[in-house]
Structure 1
Amino acid sequence: MQQVIELERVAKRYDGSGRPALGPLTLDVAKGESLAVTGPSGSGKSTLLNLVAGLDKPTEGAVTVAGRRIDRLSEHALAKFRREHIGMAFQFFNLLDDLTVTDNIQLPARLTGASRRDAAARAGQLMEMLGIQKHARAYPGRLSGGERQRVAVARALVNRPALLLADEPTGALDTASGQDVRDLLLELNRAGQTIVLVTHDLALARECATRTIHLVDGHVALDTPVQAVR
């Protein structure tokens, strides 16, 4: 089975000598999996996400994403790789309030060199797929939390990434909006999108993941496939 993420004996130390914030850790995520990463604060969840996203580099070990050894890339090459292969959705959306919904979604495509026409067409396709086309000309500040998270997910998907990373995607949402986002992520994974979710939301992990790992002190304490029919 094709692996989208391969971590081989990866460790991250921030003080250069003490106990690692993460690892050593070996972990594979296959194409089409939806992996939920859970654990208490300080367990290494954010460190793991940052290493997979290429936002940080390991102290030791190898990080391979979409067939590319990203821990060896320069900062410039990493930025280009992220734009082309990794989509990211965050707890607080990180949308640009002075851009419309359409322009927010198009932005990563434009940064990779897509024409305005092609970027607009892809944005329109995603807005229709995610049920937000009526907000195309609206500004993010006028949307609900659930709607803003859908815009953020659309932006993350605009370049058809091999991997979608979601960092506490329901953390800033009320119950109804959180369920809306859970339904969206489940639908995306059923369509074949590989997803890694970092979350404290056990309902999100239970409903959206095909597999859950639980981190404790930087190590995988549990690695559990989801048995229920999704």
Structure 2
Amino acid sequence: MTQVIQLESVAKRYDSSGTPALGPLTLSVAKGEALAVTGPSGSGKSTLLNLVAGLDKATEGTVSVAGRRLDGLSEHVLARFRREQIGMVFQFFNLLDDLTVSDNIQLPAQLAGTARRKTAERADELMEALGIRKHARAYPGRLSGGERQRVAVARALVNRPALLLADEPTGALDSASGQDVRELLVDLHRGGQTIVLVTHDPALAQACASRTIHLVDGHLALDSQAEAVR
């Protein structure tokens, strides 16, 4: 089975003489798997996500994503790799308010050098699939929280990434919008998208993930496989 993420004896220290914020940790995530990362505040969840995203570098060990070791890549090459292979969804959406929905979605593809026509076609395809086509020319500030998160997911998927990272994707939403995003993540997983989801919400992890790990003080305390994603 193809591994999209491979961590080998990874540790991250922010203070060279202190206790690691994460690890040592060895972890793999297979293609098509939906992994939920849970744990209390300060347990290392965000550190793990940042290492996998290439936003931070491990102090020890190696991090590989989609067959590439991240530690050997220059900042320029890493930025390009991240645009092409990793989609990211954040708690507070991180959309650009002065761009329309369609332009927000197209931006990563434009930065990757994709032809304008192909970029527009891909954005249209995603907006249709995610039920936001009618908002193509609207600005994010006019949308509900759930709609903005769907735009953020579309933007994350525009380059057909090998991996989707979601950091508390329902944390800023009301219950109805949160349910919409939960169903969207389930649909993406059923469609074969590899997902790593960081969440404080056990219900979200249970609904969306085929596997859950629980971190405590930077260490793996639990690694459980779900029976099925409903």
State the 1:180 CA deviation: 0.3
Distance 1:145 1:225 in 2: 31
2:13 aligned partner: 13
The yes-or-no answer on 1:157 pairing with 2:157 is yes
State the 1:228 CA deviation: 3.8
Gap runs ≥5 in structure 2:
none
State the 1:95 CA deviation: 0.2
1:57 aligned partner: 57
Distance 1:45 1:228 in 2: 24
Letter of the 1:107 counterpart: L
The yes-or-no answer on 1:120 pairing with 2:120 is yes
The yes-or-no answer on 1:24 pairing with 2:31 is no
Any conservation in 1 of the 2:95–2:140 contact (CA below 8 Å)? yes
Distance 1:213 1:228 in 2: 16
**Aligned with 2:184: secondary structure?**
helix
Deviations 1:17-49 (A, max 9, x none): 211000000000000000000000000000000
Any conservation in 1 of the 2:207–2:229 contact (CA below 8 Å)? no
Q: How does 1:174-189 map to 2 (within 5 A)?
A: 174-189=174-189
1:171 aligned partner: 171
Deviations 1:61-100 (A, max 9, x none): 0000000001211111110000000000000000000000
Moved runs in structure 1, 4+ residues, more than 4 A? none
**Aligned with 1:19: secondary structure?**
coil
State the 1:229 CA deviation: 5.2
Distance 2:127 2:98 in 1: 19
Q: In structure 2, do the counterparts of structure 1 residues 74 and 198 end up closer, same or farther at CA, with 3 Å as the change threshold?
A: same
Distance 1:117 1:223 in 2: 44
**Aligned with 1:99: secondary structure?**
coil
Letter of the 1:57 counterpart: K
Q: In structure 2, do the counterparts of structure 1 residues 187 and 229 end up closer, same or farther at CA, with 3 Å as the change threshold?
A: closer
Distance 1:49 1:71 in 2: 15
2:145 aligned partner: 145
Distance 1:158 1:100 in 2: 15
Distance 2:199 2:229 in 1: 21
Any conservation in 1 of the 2:8–2:25 contact (CA below 8 Å)? yes
Distance 2:109 2:67 in 1: 21
1:105 aligned partner: 105
**Aligned with 1:206: secondary structure?**
helix
Q: How does 1:51-90 map to 2 (within 5 A)?
A: 51-90=51-90
With the length of structure 1 as denominator, give the TM-score of the two structures: 0.99
State the 1:163 CA deviation: 0.0
1:48 aligned partner: 48
Distance 2:123 2:229 in 1: 32
Q: In structure 2, do the counterparts of structure 1 residues 174 and 115 end up closer, same or farther at CA, with 3 Å as the change threshold?
A: same
1:216 aligned partner: 216
1:130 aligned partner: 130
Any conservation in 1 of the 2:87–2:157 contact (CA below 8 Å)? yes
Distance 1:78 1:172 in 2: 29
